[in-house]
Amino acid sequence: MRRHRPSLLNVIDVEATCWDGQPPPGSVNEIIEIGLAVVDVSARRRVSRNRILVRPVRSAVSDFCTELTGLTQAEVDRGVAFAEACRILVEEYDAGQRPWASWGEYDRRQFERQSRADGVAYPFGFPTERTHTNAKAVFTEAHGLRGKPGMAQALRIAGLPLEGRHHRGEDDAWNIAALVLDLVARGAWPVTEPVVGSPRP
């Protein structure tokens, strides 16, 4: 009898430069942390977690951003370039082939925006609607909610603990992965297949 291959899913949560109000002139939101949790959907468990710090080039970490995420300018200055972060996702986490999920659409859109701005190949597979799952939308429908909850509220609704610090990418990805497994257990998580072909530039 042939063994079933593990069905791995990347859960991604990004933190980006942000401000209390409008960004300073010439500044744009840039990814400063990519939190990643790998979920084995078949085995119904979280198998690994990681964070990739990313060095911004068109913005700086504000005091507001540090208060929110805990990340400082000195910390992200030691991070890698966005292109290198995308290479890590593709080569170490099979991002071009493996389905992925995030809480809402922000993370996907931020990757698309920054990939265009930096001239870096989008690291995830296409078409997006086949490879990416909006976990917030799935959770909202599964629980019959009127409004779409934030991650912390969703954990409370599901009766799950918030592990670590909210708005720290690695911790948020780990918590979102727990919500994904809760949805898998409910039979509410959509079936996603590996992508055929490599990501387009």
Kind plus residue range of the DSSP H or E element containing 123: none
User: What confidence tens digit (pLDDT) does each residue in 124-177 have?
Assistant: 998 887 899 999 999 999 999 999 999 999 999 999 999 999 999 999 999 999
Q: Is the pLDDT reported for residue 6 higher than 70?
A: no
pLDDT tier at 195, thresholds 50, 70, 90: low
Q: Is the pLDDT reported for residue 200 higher than 50?
A: no
Main-chain dihedrals φ then ψ at residue 118, nearest 5 degrees: -95, -5
Upstream peptide bond of 161 is cis (omega within 30 degrees of 0): no
**pLDDT for res 3:** 45
Distance of CA 179 to the CA centre of its chain: 13
How would you classify residue 119: left for phi > 0, otherwise alpha for psi between -120 and 50, otherwise beta?
A: left
How would you classify residue 70: left for phi > 0, otherwise alpha for psi between -120 and 50, otherwise beta?
A: left
The bridge status of strand 45-53 relative to strand 8-16 is unpaired
Contacts of 185 (CB under 8 A, 6+ apart): 44
Q: Is the pLDDT reported for residue 64 higher than 70?
A: yes
Q: Is the pLDDT reported for residue 4 higher than 90?
A: no
**pLDDT for res 129:** 77
Q: Is the pLDDT reported for residue 73 higher than 70?
A: yes
User: What confidence tens digit (pLDDT) does each residue in 88-133 have?
Assistant: 999 999 999 999 999 999 999 999 999 999 999 999 998 887 899 9
Question: pLDDT exceeding 90 applies to what percent of the chain?
Answer: 89
More confident residue, 191 or 117: 117
**pLDDT for res 105:** 97
The bridge status of strand 132-134 relative to strand 45-53 is unpaired
Q: Is the pLDDT reported for residue 193 higher than 90?
A: no
Tokens matching residue 52: 């990739």
pTM: 0.92
DSSP category for residue 54:
B
Q: Is the pLDDT reported for residue 49 higher than 60?
A: yes
Tokens matching residue 143: 């629980």
User: What confidence tens digit (pLDDT) does each residue in 8-47 have?
Assistant: 999 999 999 999 999 999 999 999 999 999 999 999 999 9
